[in-house]
Amino acid sequence: MNSVLHRPYNFSAGPAAMPQEVLAQAAEEMLNWPDANGKRCGMGVMEMSHRGKEFLFIYTQAEADLRELLAVPAHFKILFMQGGGLAENAIVPLNISALKKDADGGGTADFVVTGSWSEKSFAEAGKYCHAHVAASGKADGFTSIPDAGSWQLNANASYVHICSNETINGVEYHELPDLKAMGSKAELVIDFSSHVASRGVDWSRVGLAFGGAQKNLGPAGLTLVVVREDLLGHALSICPSAFNYQTVAKNESMYNTPPTYSIYMAGLIFRWLKRQGGISAMEAANTAKAELLYRTIDDSGMYFNKVQSNCRSRMNVPFFLRNEALNDAFLSGAKDAGLLQLKGHKSVGGMRASIYNAMPLAGVQALTAYMQEFERTHG
Ligand SMILES: *Cc1c(COP(=O)(O)O)cnc(C)c1O
């Protein structure tokens, strides 16, 4: 237990656990980065110019690997930005809310509110455009996704924003909405912060996707934006230059200094993902992990999950003890069993197990075994 390499299973929602072999590689390369041929360049990645050939190699490989993994079509730009998911709540409307203009010169955006994150996105966008709630799951405590047929979409909306995985509420779109089939001409914007790279993306349905890296791609500090090219060049005049997608795209994400070390770490994750068999293999593994955990919850008399089965998140699994007085005992026993950071978000309560790509099936098996043992001894 005292060895630095013996680490418990970490269920943090984010910043989240990273694959141990990736951390070990980064540690080995930290002082003196080796190129693809193993030749040491004499400096660590944090110390390199972002315009030098060493970092350009790291950047180019990361971008190409991500494009391959997520099957991002050539007419989409991949941008490595900063500011996190929350900054994107402003940056998105600053860039694309005026794709279509209203009579007063402003733009309109629709929001499907399915939890804490899309609620935040809606509130922020209102500073820059006419923001409308097209549908909300608030009335049932964010335990379902309002049926697409009930969405009140604006004919003049530039985009429809969804959070495709609500990290706090544990609600995930198992399939992205098809706005065209719904008769809408708006672009679909997805906040995929907490399930990016956990499954495939149907890019034919998406205009723009964004996500902070710290859930499933690497360390905090990097924000991924994938945007269809024809959405560039429509930014409001007040949009900060460093956050103008067209400017960022023209400069290959190097208009200003990008988060170089986070890009390097994400690049190591992308190569790790390829070694695991790519996104389809991750999706199969994530489905198996989530099924095991939800089955354990549903089969027990002690635990329950409130989310409708057709939109339960495969990444973030909130669950509750029927007897809340046992919460502290559950958490301290979990810690002793080598299961960390299971306390639920304060707005939801109970427990939450985040089981991102880096969580092996063995970690979920250890958790479910602990849950069953706890039920046997405390039930
Ligand atoms: C974590 C998270 C965010 C916020 O990301 P920051 O990097 O903290 O700004 C936004 N949306 C979702 C879905 C998240 O999980």
Number of domains in the chain: 2
| Residue that is last in its domain, among 238, 273, 308 | 273
Whichever domain contains 360, its CATH number is: 3.90.1150.10
For residue 27, give the H/E element and its range.
helix 20-29
Domain boundary among 273, 293, 326: 273
Residues 206 and 340 in one domain: no
pLDDT tens figures, 155-193: 999 999 999 999 999 999 999 999 999 999 999 999 999
Give the percent of the chain with pLDDT over 70: 99
pTM (predicted TM-score):
0.97
Residues 94, 212, single domain; the answer is: yes
In a shared domain, residues 269 and 285? no
Range of the domain at 158: 45-273
Q: Give the DSSP per-residue string, 325-366.
A: GGHHHHHHHHHHTTEE--BPPTTT-SEEEE--TTS-HHHHHH
pLDDT per position as a tens digit, 325-356: 999 999 999 999 999 999 999 999 999 999 99
Residues 6+ apart with CB under 8 A from 160: 109, 110, 111, 112, 134, 151, 153, 177, 179, 184, 186, 187, 188, 189
Closest approach atom of ligand 1 to CA 89: 10
Q: Whose CA is nearest to atom 13 of ligand 1?
A: 193
In a domain, 83, yes or no: yes
**Residue 59 within any structural domain of the chain:** yes
211 Cα: distance to centroid of ligand 1 (angstroms): 7
Q: Is the pLDDT of residue 1 over 60?
A: no
Q: Which of 242, 273, 304 is the last residue of a domain?
A: 273
Pick from 80, 124, 167, 348 the residue to mutate for probing ligand 1's pocket: most ligand atoms within 8 Å of its CB.
Answer: 167
Question: Could you tell me whether strands 316-321 and 339-340 are parallel, antiparallel, or unpaired per DSSP bridges?
Answer: unpaired
Residue 15: cis peptide before it, omega within 30 degrees of 0: yes
Give the whole-angstrom CA distance, residue 137 versus residue 80.
32
Report the CATH number at residue 203.
3.40.640.10
Whether residues 155 and 111 share a domain: the answer is yes
State whether 81 and 136 are in the same domain: yes
Do 267 and 314 lie in a common domain? no
